[in-house]
Structures are given as structure tokens and as C-alpha cells.
Amino acid sequence: MDNRTTTDKIIVHCTATPEGREVTGREIDCWHRKAGYSGIGYHYVVHLDGRVEKGRDERRIGAHTVGQNHCSVGVCYVGGCDAAMKPKDTRTAAQKVALIKLLKELKQRYPAAVIYGHRDFARKACPSFDAKEEYKEL
């Protein structure tokens, strides 16, 4: 895995799992290996209780957004679907706080980076809310 030379985007994702169901970084790592990636594609995972877990080393090129991996950091919160697997903003209060803190830290490290949601680059609902709009002031 190579390191990025540019970081001009921070891209927010969800795990697309039902509201209230926890998912470990290890599970995501397993999913992504099965999908043919060299391990977890996100750099950070934000758990239901607000705990932030490191995924792929932040310096490395991720595997989360087609066409943008070479220039972005990928952040994923656990959730994003309702019980019927329809897209839903399921962020807990703790996840909302943790996401803001994490995104602010990333913006300090990459001042030129703009925050987006996966859906800004793909025909997907991910991350089930308008991250670009919500985080434009960070």
C-alpha cells in the first residue's frame, strides 16, 4: 500500500448497517478483504458510543471512494440504515460529537481538505446525510 502525496478531501461514509447494531473494525476489515481490498479501506471508524477506532494507517491510500482514494481520508460511522435496510441518518449523539472532533482534527492536519459525503462521488445514499453541507463550517 502506498502513501498519499495529496489530501484535499475528507470523505464521510456509513457502514450501511441497521440502526443500533455495532460493527467492529475487524468485521469491516473482513468485509473489505472479501471484496478484494488489502484490508479495511477506511482510515477511521466511529462507533455507536463515540469511540473512534483507527482503520487503515492515515498516511496510506484508502479504499472507500472510487476515483478519490489517492487524495482523501475516509471516515466511517457505524450505522446508516433503518431496520428494513433503507438509508437513514442513524448517528447517535455520541457519534455526532465524535465525528465533529475527528473531522476538526483532520482539518487541522489537512487545512486545504474539503469534507464530503461518499454520495457526492457515487450514486449511493452513503453516508445517509448531507455531510458536505453539515460540515462546511468545520
Residues with a known catalytic role: 13, 42, 118, 124, 126
Separation of CA 49 from chain center: 16
**C-alpha closest to that of 11 among 97, 114, 94, 101:** 114
In the stretch 11-40, what mask flags binding to Zn ion with x, by CB under 5 A?
--x---------------------------
Choose which of 7, 118, 128, 131 interacts with Zn ion (CB under 5 A): 118
Contact range with Zn ion by CB under 5 A, out of 37-45, 81-89, 101-109, 114-122: 114-122
Choose which of 73, 98, 103, 126 interacts with Zn ion (CB under 5 A): 126
Q: How far is the CB of 53 from Zn ion (least distance, A)?
A: 17
**C-alpha closest to that of 62 among 101, 11, 122:** 11
Interface with Zn ion, residue 119, by CB under 5 A:
no
Q: Which helix (H) or strand (E) holds 77?
A: strand 72-77
Q: How many residues bind Zn ion (CB under 5 A)?
A: 3
Q: How far is the CB of 119 from Zn ion (least distance, A)?
A: 8
Q: In b/e form, how buried is each residue of 51-81, taking b as 16+ CB within 10 angstroms?
A: ebbebbebebbbbbbeebbebbbbbbbbbbb
Residues making contact with Zn ion (CB under 5 A): 13, 118, 126
